[in-house]
Copies of this chain bind each other. A is one copy, B any other.
Amino acid sequence: MISGKNYIGNELIAQGSKTYNTINPNSNTSNKTIFYEATIEEVNTAAILASKAFEVYKNISDLEKANFLKTIANELEAIKDELIDIYIEESGLPNGRANGEFGRTTSQLRAFATMLKEGSWVEAIITKTENKPDIRRMQFAIGPVAIFGASNFPFAFSTAGGDTASALAAGCPVVVKSHPLHAGTGELVSSAIIKAVQKCNMPNGVFSNLNSSGIAVGESLVKHPLIKAVGFTGSIKAGTALCKLAANREEPIPVYAEMGSINPVVILPSALKSKGAFWATQYAGSITAGTGQFCTNPGLILGIKDDTLDEFIKHLKETISSIAPSCMLHPQIKSNYEENKATLLSQEGSHAILNAVNNVPENYVLPQIITVDGAIFLENKIYQKEVFGPFSIVVKCDDKEQLTQVLSKLEGQLTGTILNDDENELNTFKNAIEALKSRVGRLIFNGVPTGVEVCAAMTHGGPFPATSNSKFTSVGLTAVQRWVRPVSYQDWPNALLPEALKNENPLQIWRTVNGEITKNVL
């Protein structure tokens, strides 16, 4: 069923000679399909097809695009069993996770379809005053975009994930650089998208999927003059490299890179006192979920030194000790985990709370937690390095001033969490909360950062280096804003205006007319 070829538009093509396999991390064996890396010519053909498709696709109505997205979801569901099988085979992630992520992916596609049917996402603004020009503005698709699949979300942040769904919703053709760890999942998901392209009569080239095992395909995509923006989820190193590549093009283009985060959690004295054991259990789960391979994994827990913090650490140790080893996505990801963990364990002032255990299966790992004093954390920036995996640091601060200081020195983060059991206490930690807010894209109260709702109000983003552009989110409906730009029409004849801007408001959308938000006709 899986060919190992690239989808260049609707066609399966493999002209190249560079091949690779995926592996099954659970059994530590190679999977059998041979994948053909896209050649530079195939990259070029995909970009040209995407650019031609754009001339048609950008003018397709929101209703038709909505139907296209729903059809993709349906086609995915039609091959769900095969998709779940290959997902597990290539990722080593358990069945429950595979199913959960699958559901997230199809509901994400349908959420963007609903947004399109409602129609107000184009942000229509009309200024019409006497004796002045009539100005009307809305958002339009920017052109073909390149989307990089993520290692840790073969469904939800890859081929048909949030980046692709939001770009297709905006009206932008998508060229996916498939993630090498799950090339088979990528091809199978692509086959569902291509079926939807054909069923809905979408232009050939509106979607392509390029196999890639190194950096050449991604680089040539980002440098391709017909590609107008990039979506990426992955490491800080790769993300910043792509940003620089894009910034140094003859025509610079935006790269929306979601790169990494250690997601600080502040456990306030009231929560330690009355709910320490509860939060220890919750966080043992959050730190180890998906073998810690989440962008929102809580890698940093901050508290103020006292007996209740020690109790919390003891509970955390006990709960995590009982968690069985679990599989990582790839031997390389495991070895990075072990290496980064060892680096932090070897720092001065670092104390591991769990004993090292040998004899875990190949590609399996155990979680680890270290503790460190606030003063030492402040002095040593290495403690802010993300350890991708089931790992977290508990920082023991001397007092609330030191806590605030630690928070204000943090790099940009996707999330920040406050755990509290007494609202009066919050006022006394105002500075700490304010410092946390200035470093994050999402603030969570009495919860865990893992689990990112797909909804209109979500921000899955944050200051650098959590992302390359803190103004945007890669999860939730406003993710579509990355792929559009505004055009204003001045004194344009009503008959020639796009539907969203016509006097009669035929789409019945919300528009800002002279400062009032209304669905009224003009």
Contacts and interface: CB of A to CB of B under 8 A. Distances in A.
Interface of A: 118, 120, 125-127, 129, 132-133, 135-137, 140, 142, 240, 243-244, 247-248, 251-252, 254, 423, 426, 433, 437, 440-447, 453, 455-459, 461, 463-465, 468-471, 473, 478, 481, 484-493, 495-496, 510, 512, 514-515, 517
A133 B478 contact: no
A127 B492 contact: no
B442 A459 contact: no
A488 B449 CA distance: 12
A403 to B, nearest CB: 17
Given A464-B251, A496-B426, A489 B136 contact: no
B517 A488 contact: no
B457 A127 contact: yes
Contact of A485 (B244, B433, B471, B481): B471
26 contacts: A127-B453, A127-B458, A133-B447, A136-B457, A137-B457, A137-B478, A140-B437, A243-B247, A244-B248, A247-B252, A254-B469, A254-B471, A433-B496, A437-B487, A440-B487, A441-B487, A442-B489, A443-B490, A443-B492, A445-B490, A445-B496, A447-B491, A463-B485, A470-B485, A478-B486, A517-B517
A431 to B, nearest CB: 10
A362 B491 CA distance: 40
B120 A490 contact: no
A515 B118 contact: yes
B127 A456 contact: yes
B243 A492 contact: no
Number of copies: 2
Contact of A515 (B244, B248, B456): B456
B471 A441 contact: no
Nearest to A496: B426
A492 B445 contact: yes
Contacts of A468: 252
A458 B247 contact: no
B135 A458 contact: yes
- Considering residues A243, A446, A486, which has the most beta carbons from chain B within 10 angstroms of its beta carbon? A486
A457 B243 contact: no
Contacts of A464: 251-252
Contacts of A248: 244, 247
Nearest to A251: B464
Contacts of A423: 493, 495-496
Contacts of A484: 471
Given A125-B478, A132-B453, A490-B443, A137 B252 contact: no
Contacts of A491: 444-447
Nearest to A129: B455
Given A254-B469, A517-B120, A493 B445 contact: yes
Given A126-B457, A442-B490, 15 more contacts: A125-B478, A127-B456, A127-B457, A135-B457, A135-B458, A252-B468, A423-B493, A423-B496, A441-B485, A442-B487, A443-B492, A444-B490, A445-B496, A447-B490, A510-B517
Contacts of A437: 140, 487
A453 B492 CA distance: 15
A510 B493 CA distance: 30
A107 to B, nearest CB: 12
Nearest to A137: B457
